[in-house]
Amino acid sequence: MKKQNIVFIGFRGCGKTTFGRALAELNNLPFADLDNEIEFIIGESIADFVAKHGWQVFREVEQRVTHDFCRNFSGILATGGSTIENSKNFQNLKKTGTFIFLHTDFSDVRKYLLTQEASYRPRLNPDISLTQEIDQFWNQRKGIYQASAEIEVVPLLKGDPKKEAEKMMPVLEALLPDAPEKKRIAILSSSNGSTFQGLLDAQKKGRIPNVEFSLFLTDQPKSGALEKAKKAKLKNIEVHQISVICFPKKKE
């Protein structure tokens, strides 16, 4: 039975974001990475937040963000490596989503996590080496992922994301939510366009999916917003200078 979300679960570094985004693009569906959404809410990296406030406070924020997305989102969701260890997260995600376990080859995941590219990830147990930490938490969590998932897929971490997403389609196609109708939006601006740029950035990051900016209209041929519209290569850009007619006040 179709639910409103496909929920990718799995160990950190297994490709939930990469393959989730590729699957969403392939099927014209919205995509959200819960870790990225948390960073958007807290205004800093998870590593910096945890260093200041600790893991317990982070888990509380994660629970609120997860609950919100369970209710108000329909598409492909990528979870954090430990998201479903929280029972409330697990229950909320299960209500609206089908769990897909990305059982990527663990040796490839370990190699990735030990590279400098992954060094930004906050440590879960700094009292042991990173290699020991990775092995320890994988052994703790792999059984949880397998028991929780309706479907298990084995993508190649080094493979082309689009091709790997295409390989998943035979088992996932019947479960994918319907693509929402794309909304066409007109932008009217005569200012520097900072709000407009924020909308463009949000669209690029997937925070306002299935939206097309179909028209930009301004009365200022030298406005900053107009330059932003041209840079974004909007299809329809129109400049209409408006003449203001002042009528004399009637004498009483």
Binning the chain into helix, strand and coil, the percentages to the nearest 5 are: 50, 15, 35
Q: Express as a percent the part of the chain with pLDDT over 70.
A: 91
Residue 126 shares a structural domain with residue 208: no
Residue 41 shares a structural domain with residue 116: yes
Indicate whether 252 pLDDT > 60.
no
Band of the pLDDT at 211, cuts 50, 70, 90?
confident
d(CA 127, CA 44) in angstroms, rounded, equals 25
For residue 142, give the CATH number of its domain. 3.40.50.300
The whole-number pLDDT of residue 24 equals 92
Residue 197 shares a structural domain with residue 167: no
Q: What are the helix (H) ranges across the chain?
A: 16-26, 34-42, 46-53, 55-72, 87-96, 106-113, 130-148, 161-172, 194-204, 224-231
* Domain span including residue 229: 183-239
Q: Express as a percent the part of the chain with pLDDT over 90.
A: 50
Tens-place pLDDT, residues 128-174? 888 899 999 999 999 999 999 999 999 999 999 999 999 999 999 99
Band of the pLDDT at 120, cuts 50, 70, 90?
low
210: left (phi over 0), alpha (psi -120 to 50) or beta: left
Indicate whether 69 pLDDT > 70.
yes
